[in-house]
Amino acid sequence: MSNHRAILAIALPMVLANLSVPMLGFVDTAILGHLESATNLAAVHLGATTLSLAFWSFGFLRMSTTGITSRQLGASNITEVRHALLRSVLMAGVIALPVIAAGLLLFPLVIPLLAHGSAVAEPAQQYVQIRLWSAPATLGTYAIIGWLIGLGSGRSAMGVMVATNLLNAALDYLFIVEWQWGYRGAALASLCAEYGGLIPGLLICRYQLKKMAAPKTGHFWKQSAFAALLRANRDIFVRTLCLLLVFLSMSSLAVAIDAETAAATAILLNLLAFSAYFMDGFAFAAESLGGRAWGRRNRNELLQVIWKSSYLALGVAACFSLVFAALQQPLLQLYTDLPQVLARAGEIFAWLTWLPLLAIWCYQLDGIFIGIGRTATLRNAMLLSAAGYALLVWAAADNLSPASLWTAFWVFHAMRTASLALPLALILRKDTFAGQSQPAD
């Protein structure tokens, strides 16, 4: 039976690992921001953001691997647990090659458009061309981290992520400050760190595989297993793409309103993302432990995972809402001292203040559905929610305001919650579990 200790053993390490990401961004900004030219900082920000969005489109490698691994572990199918890692790493390698080829063709066209023809375009393009070669390591690490989370080894997954980010920070200092390589140094630091972080990840996986001592049975190239992996990856890819487009449209539509709204929206979305780093840890726990309960076909255990991980996550969400309410002005002043931006951010800050209390259910339900392998439901819910958001934005297009934009964003989160909560209630009926002994992938 799942308990709080098992949940926290996954959630807390993943929270710490997530926090290493913005800390790395702070180091990058601090180092590049003290060079003579602002072009370095602007180019790296544009290039890194574009590349991160492209890479995270393949985040399904992390999520599908977690779900499949945890369900097979719950079913005590150790051979398939081992194969889940190997199939996902193989798929990451296969995907990485066309990603590099497509990037070399498309980014020279995309980056100048995003840079609006400014002097930032050329260095941003060079940054992307260097970092693009990290695709095999980046996608491979997604698969490795997903497998480790599926095993419930949050500390190992944290170790891989933190090692990568610490190495990146150290190489940033060496390449940018000591050797004066500018934006090229930043790109090379990230490239080397991705491959450097992959090595401990592979070693940890090797250790875990040896511990399992599984009998050499089962067919690695089993068609049904690869078909299940491809279906899950397809569904999660669509879900992730829709999510990225909604967040990208928030920034783009805010620009269309005015510069102050764009800047204020960027600050608020950044604060929301920071809160998500904490809340996501409990979604990871729901993925791993929920998938394991589903693999055992144990309804009571699954209910315990959902209940305990969700109320812990809700407590964290409530803390963030209280912090946002109490520290509105100090938080905004961390980002800017421009009076117009502060004023606009103050006008719309209430939309952020209580959003964690709604967003937490989206994160938790995503984790639960990934864990139990119902990725088609997850995909359909996201398509429906994104369509609702787009319809509201379209209806307000002639008189788009910060309030109408953030209303659509709230409705998007509410629809995500509602469109997953009802299917989950149906899945949790007792008859769903009757007479079933194998995990549904």
Q: Say whether pLDDT at 278 is over 90.
A: yes
Are the C-beta atoms of 360 and 313 separated by less than 8 Å?
A: yes
Q: Say whether pLDDT at 1 is over 50.
A: no
Residue-range domain boundaries for the chain: 1-220, 221-432
Identify the band that residue 192 occupies on the pLDDT scale cut at 50, 70 and 90. Answer: very high
Contacts from 77-81 at CB under 8 Å and sequence distance 24+? 77/295, 77/439, 78/212, 78/214, 79/214, 79/215, 79/217, 79/218, 80/218, 80/225, 81/150, 81/151, 81/212, 81/214
Are the C-beta atoms of 76 and 11 separated by less than 8 Å?
A: no
Identity of the amino acid at 421:
A
Torsion over CA: 359, 361, 363, 366 (sign): negative
Using a pLDDT cut of 70, give the percent of the chain over it. 92
Task: Give me the pLDDT at residue 4, please.
Answer: 85
Identify the band that residue 139 occupies on the pLDDT scale cut at 50, 70 and 90. Answer: very high
The vertex-313 CA angle with 309 and 315, nearest 5°, equals 125
Are the C-beta atoms of 187 and 47 separated by less than 8 Å?
A: yes
Q: Say whether pLDDT at 437 is over 60.
A: no
Nearest to 37 by CA among 112, 123, 111, 117: 123
Q: Say whether pLDDT at 92 is over 50.
A: yes
Task: Provide the whole-model pTM.
Answer: 0.89
Q: What are the DSSP calls for 329-395, one per residue?
A: HHHHHHH---HHHHHHHHHHHHHHHTHHHHHHHHHHHHHHHHHHT-HHHHHHHHHHHHHHHHHHHHH
Record the tokens describing residue 398, joined without a space: 């002639």
Task: Give me the pLDDT at residue 16, please.
Answer: 86
Q: Say whether pLDDT at 242 is over 60.
A: yes
Are the C-beta atoms of 126 and 40 separated by less than 8 Å?
A: no
Measured between alpha carbons, how far is 192 from 190 in angstroms, rounded to an integer? 6
Q: Find tokens 């998938």 and name the residue.
A: 291
Mean pLDDT confidence for 8-14: 92
Identify the band that residue 66 occupies on the pLDDT scale cut at 50, 70 and 90. Answer: very high
Measured between alpha carbons, how far is 148 from 84 in angstroms, rounded to an integer? 11
Q: Say whether pLDDT at 436 is over 60.
A: no
Question: Phi/psi of residue 221, each to 5°?
Answer: -90, 20
Identify the band that residue 295 occupies on the pLDDT scale cut at 50, 70 and 90. Answer: very high
Torsion over CA: 389, 365, 283, 439 (sign): negative
Nearest to 396 by CA among 261, 266, 259, 257: 257
Tell me the average pLDDT of the chain: 89
Mean pLDDT confidence for 206-217: 78
Measured between alpha carbons, how far is 293 from 366 in angstroms, rounded to an integer? 16
Give residue-wise pLDDT tens across range 304-317: 999 999 999 999 99
Measured between alpha carbons, how far is 78 from 365 in angstroms, rounded to an integer? 27
Measured between alpha carbons, how far is 227 from 222 in angstroms, rounded to an integer? 9
Q: Say whether pLDDT at 389 is over 70.
A: yes
Measured between alpha carbons, how far is 276 from 263 in angstroms, rounded to an integer? 20
Give residue-wise pLDDT tens across range 248-262: 888 888 878 888 888
Identify the band that residue 215 occupies on the pLDDT scale cut at 50, 70 and 90. Answer: low
